[in-house]
Amino acid sequence: MNRTRPLTRVVYVVSLFPCVSETFIVREIGALIARGVDVRIISLKKPSKDLVQTDSAALLDRVRHPLPWPAAVAGVARECVRAPATVLRAVGLVVIDGWRRPMVALKSLAALFRALQHARWLRDFDPQVIHAHWATYPSTAAWALARLTDRPFSFTSHAHDIYVENQLLAHKITDAALAVTISRFNVDWLSARATPAARDKLRIVHCGVDMENSPWQAGTRDARSILAVGRLDPVKGFETLVDAIALLAQQGIDVDCRLVGTGPLEQALRQRAGERGVADRIEFTGAQPQERIRDWMRSATMFALPSQVAADGNRDGIPVALMEAMASGCPVISTRVSGIPELIEHDRNGLLVEPRDPAALADAIRSLMADPALRSRLALQARRHIEAQFDARKEAGRLHALMQEAADAA
C-alpha cells in the first residue's frame, strides 16, 4: 500500500455536540487534533442547554449544527438534484430497513435530511475520512454523506446502538472503509447477529481515559464512601446499589453513597431509597462538571457500577466511568455484563458480582470497606491496566493509524 498523503482532515458525525455523557468522544477528538488532524464535527441536533464540560467548550468552534430551515431545505434540494440516484438509494434502504419500525425510519430520514444539508460544505472541507460515533442515526448520516461525496466512511459502535437497535448494520459494516467497536464482546455479538463479515472487518479501539488529567491518588480516602456515576436508567443497575446499601444498613454497616447523574429513573430511585430507609445515605447530585467528579473519585473509598441487561436487551458496553475510577486509584466494583470483564478481572484489578444481586454487591462493598490492603492492591493493578490498555491517547493513536489506512486505500 502506498501512502498518498498524511491524515490531516477528518469529519466526525454525532447525534449531539456537546453531550455531557459522551466525554470520551471529546477526548478522542482532542487526541487526534494533538496529532495534527483538523477535526470538524457535524452535530445532528441543535445544542442543548445541558452542562458543557470544559474540554467540550474548547471544540465548539469546530462544530456545525443544523442550518436554519431555508438553508437546510436548499442544501438538501441541491443534493437531490446533483445526485438523485444516490439520495434515492439511501432513502430507499432506510425505508425498507425500518418499515416495521416507523419511528426509527422517520428518525433515520431526519438524520439523512440533517446530513445532506452539510454536503456542499463537506466537499469544500474535503475530509479524508468521515467518522461517526454510534451505529444508529449518526452512522446512517455519515454513510449517506460518504456515498454522496465519495469519501471513506467509518464508524464506532458501542452498546445500545447494537444491542437494541439494528439500523442497516450489515450494510454499514460492509460499506465502511473502517468499522470499529469497543470490545471483543461486541465483535462476537455483531458477527452472530449482524453479519459474519464483522469478525474479520471490525477493529477494537477502546474508549479511553485522559491519563494526564487522571492523577494517581491511592493514599488517604474516606472511610465509608461509595461513588457511583452514570445515567439514571435501567442498564446501570442503580436499584441494586440502593438495595445493597439497605442490606448493609440492616447489618449495622453505615455507608454514604454519592450518585452522580440524571435520567428517567431518578424519581424511582429516590423513592426506593426512602422505602428502604436509606434516603439519608444516598446523595443524588445530578450532572456535575468532570473536574468535580475527578475530585470525588480521588477521595471515595470505592466506585460501584452494578450494570445489568435491561428488559429490552440494552446494556453497557465498557463504561468509561469505570475506567476513570480505576485510573484515579479508586477501587471498583461492577458486574459480569457485556465487555466489563474485559476491563475488570475479578480480584485482580477490581471486584465483579452477578447483576441484580444486592446481597453479592453488599458483600463486595463490605469486603472493600474492611480491607485497606485489598483496596490498595486492586487499585494499583487497576491503574496499571488502564495505563496499558485504556489510555485515550494511545487508543486515539491506534484509531489514527486505522483511519490513515482507510484514507490510503480510498
127 and 232 co-located in one domain? no
164 and 294 co-located in one domain? no
The mean predicted confidence, pLDDT, of the chain is 95
In a domain, residue 1? The reply is no
28 and 129 co-located in one domain? yes
In a domain, residue 3? The reply is no
pLDDT at 324 over 50: yes
- Exposure letters 52-76 (e unless 16+ CB within 10 A, then b): bbebbeebeeebbbbbeeeebeebb
pLDDT of residue 1: 45
Q: Which tens digits make up the pLDDT trace of 228-254? A: 999 999 999 999 999 999 999 999 999
In a domain, residue 326? The reply is yes
44 and 146 co-located in one domain? yes
How distant, in Å, are the alpha carbons of 39, 145, 275, 322 from that of 127?
9, 11, 55, 33
270 and 366 co-located in one domain? yes
In a domain, residue 346? The reply is yes
pLDDT at 2 over 60: no
pLDDT of residue 52: 60
Comparing 301 with 57, the larger pLDDT belongs to 301
Q: Residue 408 is placed in which grid cell?
A: 490510503
- Closest by Cα among 49, 47, 38 to 12: 38
pLDDT at 3 over 60: no
237 and 180 co-located in one domain? no
254 and 175 co-located in one domain? no
Q: Which tens digits make up the pLDDT trace of 183-232? A: 999 999 999 999 999 999 999 999 999 998 888 876 677 779 999 999 99
239 and 249 co-located in one domain? yes
> What is the domain extent for residue 139?
9-208+391-409
**Strands annotated E in 6-124:** 9-14, 38-43, 63-64
Q: Which tens digits make up the pLDDT trace of 348-386? A: 999 999 999 999 999 999 999 999 999 999 999 999 999
For residues 112-128, give the mean pLDDT: 98
Q: Which tens digits make up the pLDDT trace of 151-169? A: 999 999 999 999 998 899 9
Structural domain total, the chain: 2
For residues 328-357, give the mean pLDDT: 98
In a domain, residue 32? The reply is yes
Q: Residue 264 is placed in which grid cell?
A: 428517567
User: Is 157 within 8 Å of 133 (Cβ atoms)?
Assistant: no
300 and 167 co-located in one domain? no
Comparing 344 with 410, the larger pLDDT belongs to 344
For residues 310-334, give the mean pLDDT: 97
In a domain, residue 401? The reply is yes
Q: Which tens digits make up the pLDDT trace of 277-289? A: 999 999 999 999 8
In a domain, residue 4? The reply is no
- Closest by Cα among 80, 1, 7 to 404: 7
Task: For the beta carbon of residue 226, count every other beta carbon within 10 angstroms.
Answer: 25
Q: pLDDT category, 56, cuts 50, 70, 90? A: confident
pLDDT of residue 22: 87
In CATH, what number is assigned to the domain containing residue 77? 3.40.50.2000
254 and 343 co-located in one domain? yes
pLDDT at 170 over 50: yes
In a domain, residue 266? The reply is yes
364 and 396 co-located in one domain? no
pLDDT of residue 219: 64
54 and 41 co-located in one domain? yes
